[in-house]
């Protein structure tokens, strides 16, 4: 039992220094824990205190931090997610990525709240963690193996009631693909911003965890009142009650097309034939490839797609996916409406350890460059890079993960690929991160979310505006309101910060907002973490993330969309729509003001002081 | 006049398909169209709560949420596309 003064925490930070080959446990600071809770907030604070934001992201001075939360170890719905932060080798700014599965809960059960890994090993290593014991082990025999092979080999030590859970990279991470992922439970991934490349640069192949340590709950009655409310509301809302289990996230495909937001051919426009969209819809997936739905730790929603598909050689393959983002970014964004091909490419990306989103965005960029004659057939190993060629999509996954041929350039991401070919305007990125599968011209709120996300164009960190602009909030938050978008996106971002810092799933937000969480976290910790207190914490975390990025070199000029979205209109609701530079400027200015940042997008000394971040942030 | 109706998610099972054409009197509203579609208690129970729409339900005309117009009183024109689906999320 921990003697940490706040319930819900073990009070232990596990620190591995790979340069020295040392692992040690350091105490968690209680004041820091209360100021940042856990997950994204706590991890960001510790990263900020550990590294120089100006460091080389693929050098030994970078670190990564994974934090759990006080709710993990209770039975709060979906509370088992980990959050990883690092300096991103893809973007050069804060890398921040979240994953479900079971690893986060298992790490907490091993008796730790936070994992910090810094330095770099000269040879492949893995970290093995169980209560009272954490050691670095050689991993030469694992180097080169896929995420599935690595997971299965390391998880083989599992015992009844004490499973071993594995977090690992695949060949893409080893080969420093800038958008390489870190996988757990085979197909759950910390996907965005290239954490796998950071692990690869440190020669860290895997982290295996086991344990049975429990947490204490300080005020069972308060915790239970929030839990009961949450469970009741999740049974009422269609998304959490049945829709995710029925259709997965790809249930959105047809609906996003309905509102002219589904991008085609590297964001050329959002026009599709309905019969093509139907081929890749969540309904079609459910009828053709789905074997069963699955769930992450303690999740009643069940959005996972366990699927099977005929391989190109005719043999049946099994795996997970595709999700909405993967379906669209590997699909219509590349002019492809072949669900089987998208699914197979998704399987390969998971096995090799690639972010399916950045991969899709990078292939779409390459296809546009090929159409413009800037990538020639003789450079592709004979592959036809025309939009719509699913064979190229599948073949390039392996070439990218192994950096073979043109794959070595795709491994650098869309921004660097387009720049190296003399056409930077073909990269559909914000802060060098490939844009998700919602066209920003179809919602000012989504546009501002991409512009101001701390990690570059991310719908989960930047604010998932579709739910405002489309579902349920249309009357209050019009899609094209310059006035309302800044406050709307600030609120959405803060909700995301809370969920990421509590270690819970975004999709709970379709059933309830902050109030049940406030009661659950107050009950677990025994501290007054009311909705108002949580809002202050969310603002603190947002300001700290921005401060990290300012010190990494971000300026207001980086908070902008690619030129295409200002210059080339799409048709939405019968009207031509862009997000003009003037509109971007106005929303950015108002957003900065709401956040307490100056005109250059820097948190002011006053806001840093009032949020107890410190006048200089240090 | 005739409008096109499209159903999504579990409304496809409830209404027996991906969509249909619906003949309505000139000047008909969204509420009139939905009332015509809800020809069984099960269908009515999934769409209406009293005189209004059930919560967690989205109705759009030509891609625009009817809440952003006049709700059930939103007028329809020949050839309009009416989309009906449960509030759905993802990401």
CB under 8 Å to A31, separation ≥6 — which residues? Answer: none
Nearest to A96 by CA among A588, A542, A487: A542
A475 and B56: CB-CB below 8 Å? no
For chain A, residues with pLDDT lower than 70 are 1, 467-477, 615-618
Nearest CA in chain A to B13: A283
Nearest by CB to B9, from A247, A470, A474: name it.
A247
Asked if the C-beta of A507 comes within 8 angstroms of chain B's C-beta atoms, the answer is yes
* N- to C-terminal Cα separation, chain B: 38
List of domains in chain B = 2-86 (3.10.20.30)
Nearest by CB to B60, from A236, A258, A278: name it.
A258
A507 and B89: CB-CB below 8 Å? yes
**Cα–Cα distance list, A547 to A117, A302, A459, B56 (Å):** 22, 36, 21, 39
Taking a C-beta distance cutoff of 8 angstroms, is the pair A226, A519 a contact? yes
Q: Model confidence over A202-252: pLDDT tens digits?
A: 999 999 999 999 999 999 999 999 999 999 999 998 889 999 999 999 999
Nearest by CB to B89, from A239, A325, A460: name it.
A239
B63 and A251: CB-CB below 8 Å? no
| DSSP-assigned beta bridge partners for residue B61 | B64, B82
DSSP per-residue letters across A519-536:
HHHHHHH-S---HHHHHH
Per the listing, tokens 């700014």 go with A93
pLDDT of res. A411: 98
* Domain residue ranges in chain A: 12-209, 247-434, 443-510+530-610
pLDDT of res. A473: 47
**Cα–Cα distance list, A20 to A15, A17, A24, A89, A127 (Å):** 12, 6, 11, 23, 14
Domain A247-434 matches domain A443-510+530-610 at the CATH topology level: no
pLDDT of res. A474: 45
Give me the interface pTM, i.e. the ipTM: 0.91
Asked if the C-beta of A172 comes within 8 angstroms of chain B's C-beta atoms, the answer is no
Cβ atoms within 10 Å of A174's Cβ, excluding its own:
25
Asked if the C-beta of B58 comes within 8 angstroms of chain A's C-beta atoms, the answer is yes
Class of domain A12-209: alpha beta
Q: Which CATH number fits domain A247-434: 1.10.569.10, 3.40.50.740, 1.25.40.10, 1.10.730.10?
A: 1.10.569.10
B87 and A239: CB-CB below 8 Å? yes
Question: Is beta strand A182-184 parallel, antiparallel or unpaired with respect to A165-168?
Answer: antiparallel
CA–CA distance, A253 with A95 (Å, rounded to integer)? 27
CA–CA distance, B68 with B81 (Å, rounded to integer)? 16
Closest chain A C-alpha to B66 CA, distance in angstroms: 8
A506 and B63: CB-CB below 8 Å? no
Closest chain B C-alpha to A14 CA, distance in angstroms: 32
pLDDT of res. A468: 58
Taking a C-beta distance cutoff of 8 angstroms, is the pair A523, A217 a contact? yes
Q: Is the dihedral of CA A38, A41, A42, A47 positive or negative?
A: positive
Q: Stretch B72-87: mean pLDDT, rounded?
A: 94
Q: Looking at beta carbons, which residues of chain B come within 8 Å of A436?
A: 91
Nearest by CB to B90, from A324, A474, A475: name it.
A324
A258 and B56: CB-CB below 8 Å? no
Closest chain B C-alpha to A133 CA, distance in angstroms: 38
Question: Is beta strand A63-67 parallel, antiparallel or unpaired with respect to A114-118?
Answer: antiparallel
Would you state the structure tokens that stand for residue B30, as one six-digit string? 């969204």
Nearest by CB to B63, from A260, A478, A506: name it.
A260
Asked if the C-beta of B59 comes within 8 angstroms of chain A's C-beta atoms, the answer is no
pTM, two decimal places: 0.97
Nearest to A207 by CA among A143, A134, A148: A134
Q: Looking at beta carbons, which residues of chain B come within 8 Å of A260?
A: 63
pLDDT of res. B90: 66
A243 and B9: CB-CB below 8 Å? yes
Strands (E), A533-596: 570-572, 575-577
Burial class (CB in 10 A: 0-12, 13-18, 19+), A151: buried
Please, where are the H alpha helices in A324-389? 324-329, 339-352, 356-371
Asked if the C-beta of A251 comes within 8 angstroms of chain B's C-beta atoms, the answer is yes
Taking a C-beta distance cutoff of 8 angstroms, is the pair B23, B1 a contact? yes
pLDDT of res. A465: 78
Q: Looking at beta carbons, which residues of chain A come within 8 Å of B58?
A: 470-472
Q: Looking at beta carbons, which residues of chain B come within 8 Å of A252?
A: 88-91
Closest chain B C-alpha to A88 CA, distance in angstroms: 22
Nearest by CB to B90, from A249, A478, A572: name it.
A249
A238 and B83: CB-CB below 8 Å? no
Nearest by CB to A251, from B9, B56, B62: name it.
B9
The CATH fold assigned to A443-510+530-610 is 1.10.599
**Cα–Cα distance list, A390 to A114, A276, A283 (Å):** 41, 14, 21
| Angle (CA) B80 B86 B91, round 5° | 105
Q: Looking at beta carbons, which residues of chain B come within 8 Å of A249?
A: 89-91
Question: Is beta strand A290-294 parallel, antiparallel or unpaired with respect to A182-184?
Answer: unpaired
Per the listing, tokens 């009183």 go with B73
Asked if the C-beta of A322 comes within 8 angstroms of chain B's C-beta atoms, the answer is no
CA–CA distance, A546 with A544 (Å, rounded to integer)? 5
Convert B1-52 into a string of H (helix), E (strand) and C (coil). CEEEEEECCCHHHHHCCCEEEEECCCCCEHHHHHHHHCCCHHHHHHHEECCE
| Helix (H) or strand (E) segment spanning residue A537 | helix A531-552
Taking a C-beta distance cutoff of 8 angstroms, is the pair A95, A194 a contact? yes
pLDDT of res. A131: 84
Q: Rounded to a whole number, what is the largest CA-CA distance in chain B?
A: 40
Closest chain B C-alpha to A264 CA, distance in angstroms: 17
Closest chain B C-alpha to A446 CA, distance in angstroms: 13
| Helix (H) or strand (E) segment spanning residue A447 | helix A444-452
B89 and A472: CB-CB below 8 Å? no
pLDDT of res. B67: 84
Cβ atoms within 10 Å of A520's Cβ, excluding its own:
30
| DSSP-assigned beta bridge partners for residue B29 | B75
Asked if the C-beta of A277 comes within 8 angstroms of chain B's C-beta atoms, the answer is no
């Amino acid at each position: 039992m921990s003697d940490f003064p706040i319930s819900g925490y073990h009070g232990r930070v596990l620190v591995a220094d790979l340069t020295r080959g040392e692992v040690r446990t350091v105490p968690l600071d209680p004041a820091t824990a209360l100021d940042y809770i856990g997950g994204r907030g706590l991890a960001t604070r510790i990263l900020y205190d550990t590294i120089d934001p100006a460091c080389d992201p693929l050098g030994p001075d970078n670190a990564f931090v994974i934090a759990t939360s006080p709710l993990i170890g209770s039975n709060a719905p979906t509370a088992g997610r980990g959050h990883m932060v690092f300096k991103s080798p893809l973007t050069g700014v804060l890398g921040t990525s979240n994953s479900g599965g079971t690893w986060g809960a298992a790490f907490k059960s091993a008796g730790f709240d936070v994992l910090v890994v810094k330095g770099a090993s000269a040879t492949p290593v893995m970290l093995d963690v169980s209560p009272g014991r954490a050691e670095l082990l050689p991993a030469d025999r694992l180097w080169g193996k896929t995420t599935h092979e690595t997971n299965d080999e390391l998880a083989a030590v599992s015992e009844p009631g004490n499973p071993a859970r594995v977090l690992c990279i695949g060949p893409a991470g080893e080969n420093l693909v800038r958008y390489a992922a870190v996988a757990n439970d085979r197909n759950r991934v910390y996907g965005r911003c290239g954490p796998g490349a950071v692990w690869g640069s440190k020669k860290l192949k895997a982290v295996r965890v086991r344990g049975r340590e429990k947490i204490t709950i300080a005020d069972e009655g308060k915790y239970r009142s929030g839990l009961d409310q949450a469970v009741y509301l999740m049974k009422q809302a269609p998304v959490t009650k049945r829709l995710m289990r029925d259709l997965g996230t790809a249930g959105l495909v047809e609906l996003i097309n309905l509102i002219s937001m589904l991008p085609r051919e590297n964001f050329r426009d959002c026009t599709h034939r309905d019969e093509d969209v139907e081929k890749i819809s969540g309904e079609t997936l459910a009828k053709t490839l789905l074997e069963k739905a699955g769930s992450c730790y303690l999740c009643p929603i069940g959005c996972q797609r366990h699927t099977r598909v005929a391989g190109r050689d005719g043999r049946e393959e099994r795996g997970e996916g595709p999700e909405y983002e993967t379906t669209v970014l590997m699909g219509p964004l590349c002019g492809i409406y072949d669900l089987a091909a998208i699914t197979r490419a998704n399987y390969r990306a998971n096995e090799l350890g690639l972010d399916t989103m950045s991969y899709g965005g990078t292939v779409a960029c390459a296809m546009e460059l090929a159409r413009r004659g800037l990538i020639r057939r003789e450079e592709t190993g004979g592959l036809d890079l025309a939009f719509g060629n699913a064979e190229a999509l599948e073949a390039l996954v392996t070439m990218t993960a192994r950096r073979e041929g043109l794959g070595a350039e795709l491994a650098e991401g869309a921004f660097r690929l387009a720049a190296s070919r003399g056409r930077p305007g073909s990269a559909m990125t914000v802060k060098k991160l490939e844009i998700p599968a919602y066209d920003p011209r179809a919602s000012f709120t989504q546009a501002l979310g991409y512009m101001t996300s701390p990690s570059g164009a991310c719908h989960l960190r930047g604010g998932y505006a579709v739910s405002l602009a489309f579902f349920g909030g249309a009357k209050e938050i019009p899609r094209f309101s310059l006035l309302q978008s800044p406050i709307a996106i600030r609120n959405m971002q803060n909700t995301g910060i809370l969920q990421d810092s509590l270690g819970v799933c975004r999709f709970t937000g379709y059933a309830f907002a902050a109030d049940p969480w406030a009661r659950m976290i107050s009950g677990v910790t025994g501290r007054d973490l009311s909705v108002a207190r949580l809002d202050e914490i969310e603002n603190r975390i947002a300001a700290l993330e921005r401060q990290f990025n300012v010190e990494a070199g971000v300026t207001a000029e980086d908070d902008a969309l690619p030129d295409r979205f200002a210059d080339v209109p799409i048709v939405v609701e019968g009207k031509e729509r862009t997000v003009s530079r003037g509109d971007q400027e106005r929303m950015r200015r108002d957003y900065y003001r709401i956040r307490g940042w100056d005109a250059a997008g820097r948190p002011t000394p006053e806001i840093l002081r009032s949020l107890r971040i410190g006048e200089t942030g240090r | 006049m005739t409008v096109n109706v499209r159903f999504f998610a579990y409304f496809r099972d409830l209404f027996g398909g991906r969509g249909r054409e619906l003949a309505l009197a000139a000047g008909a509203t969204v509420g009139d169209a939905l009332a015509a579609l809800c020809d069984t208690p099960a269908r009515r129970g999934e769409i209406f709560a009293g005189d209004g729409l059930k919560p967690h339900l989205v109705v759009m005309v030509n891609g625009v949420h009817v809440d952003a117009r006049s709700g059930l009183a939103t007028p329809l024109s020949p050839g309009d596309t009416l989309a009906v689906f449960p509030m759905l999320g993802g990401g």
